[in-house]
Amino acid sequence: MVNFFTKDGGVVFAVESTIAPSPHDIAKLVWLFDKAEYLSSERVPGFFVGPRKEMVTPWSTNAVEITQNMGVDGIIRIEEFFQVEDEQARFDPMLQRLYRELGQQLFTINKLPETIKYIDSITEYNKSEGLALSPEEVDYLEQLSTKLGRKLTDSEVFGFSQVNSEHCRHKIFNGVFIIDGVEKPSTLFALIKKTSKENPNRIVSAYKDNVAFVGGPVVEQFAPASQNKPDFFEVKNYESVISLKAETHNFPTTVEPFNGAATGTGGEIRDRMAGGKGSLPIAGTAVYMTSYPRSEVGKPWEENIEPRKWLYQTPAEILIKASNGASDFGNKFGQPLICGSLLTFEHVEKQKHFGFDKVIMLAGGVGYGKRADSLKDIPVKGQSLVVMGGDNYRIGMGGSAVSSVATGQFSNAIELNAVQRSNPEMQKRVCNAIRAMVELDKNPIVSIHDHGAGGHLNCLSELVEATGGNIDI
């Protein structure tokens, strides 16, 4: 059932519970919502903007936990709704929706999991789902289907497209380059790795994990003596490593700058949490490259070039919203964004217009861990595999494929669907759990990977990449 509480200014709190709240519990909730009025009716008429029913907000997660600590039983969700004048009200369609009334079906979701689909045409499925498979990859999958003697399933084809995407596998960086008919001796990635190979110095791990580690000093750990109960803090020395990370979030920041950049910052924080057998973040950085923002007059290098029409957002909107998004995630997670840089560029030559149409967003940062935990172990049969975090939605899944092509190549629906949603509060909870394990004398983690654009498909396969394996979900 859903109970409603209203405050001045058209704010309504919707409280979903498994049992009818007692008068005593209602009094507690009235106090919690700052003396809001309890509505005994089962519906609230009017137009409201609030979170999508399919997505439990971080605000709700915290609010429900507060009610549990207050001794109010049975509450499973609390969300905040704001009354608006009519259907023309503006809101963020990625995170919110317009409600024509608030009723008992407010949080009811009738959608059922789809059955396994066998793909008749991989070429057509590739186009309709925006999988960014190359002709060679489609050919490979068709041959695999013939070899197996059956059609491939939707999850198999979708999974292959994410795991083998440019975003995840860096096929261009690892590809052979033939320039003017001459094959070059090194790939781009080999050139990047060459420096550390010839001058390893203090490098502990590079180009084989979610982050790179360099040797750090012996430091003091100030942490609870035990992690499963309130306890005294102890000081222990350990040999540290410093983690370094940079993550591109170009496509998501182009399409939806606030959430795109927020999840770029969130992604690089996740990568530093998932280094070795677990490590911890300290501070973040952000780099942006866009076409000219034209934020003020009097800049001849900008005014000499006619501005273009933009598919999603203008460069000025991108810079404002992306900067806000990256800072927002860092602040809510508890990691400061300490520095960054900006480059803008456009150029016209031979009637051709050049510029950063697909914004470059680099989220980076530094962190630390224990040298003893800086390298992953190889998992073995029978070990437990744990997925930590919030609900896993279709949104964000497919981002690794869509990120690997030119912006605008797919429909708006596919491109918007591929942008992850920001949830720093849940990520902080996961980080606290990882911290509890890495601060133990014996860290129980064998190997750890972050759960990003490829979802389960990429994350779970990376965990068993060295061995292969069957994962029964």
Report the CATH superfamily, name and number, of domain 202-463. PurM-like, N-terminal domain (3.30.1330.10)
Q: What are phi and psi of 193, to 5 degrees?
A: -75, -15
Q: What is the pLDDT of residue 50?
A: 95
Quick one: the chain helix, strand, coil %, rounded to 5? 30, 25, 45
Q: What is the pLDDT of residue 211?
A: 93
Q: What is the pLDDT of residue 418?
A: 62
Q: What is the pLDDT of residue 169?
A: 77
pTM: 0.82
Q: What is the pLDDT of residue 144?
A: 96
Residues of the chain with CATH 3.30.1330.10: 202-463
Return left, alpha or beta for 46; rule: phi > 0 is left, psi -120 to 50 is alpha, else beta.
Answer: left
Q: In sequence order, what are the residues at sequence separation of 6 or more whose Cβ sits closer than 8 angstroms to the Cβ of residue 288? A: 253, 318, 319, 322, 323, 340, 341, 342, 343, 359, 360, 361, 362
Q: What is the pLDDT of residue 326?
A: 94
**Residue 22 in contact with residue 72, Cβ under 8 Å?**
no
Give strand ranges (E) for 196-264.
Answer: 203-205, 212-224, 233-248
Tens of pLDDT, residues 90-139: 888 777 899 999 999 999 988 787 899 999 999 999 988 888 888 999 99
Q: What is the pLDDT of residue 459?
A: 83
Token pair for residue 247?
Answer: 């993550």
Tens of pLDDT, residues 324-336: 999 999 999 999 9
> How many residues are there in the chain?
473
The residues of the chain scoring below 70 in pLDDT are 391-419
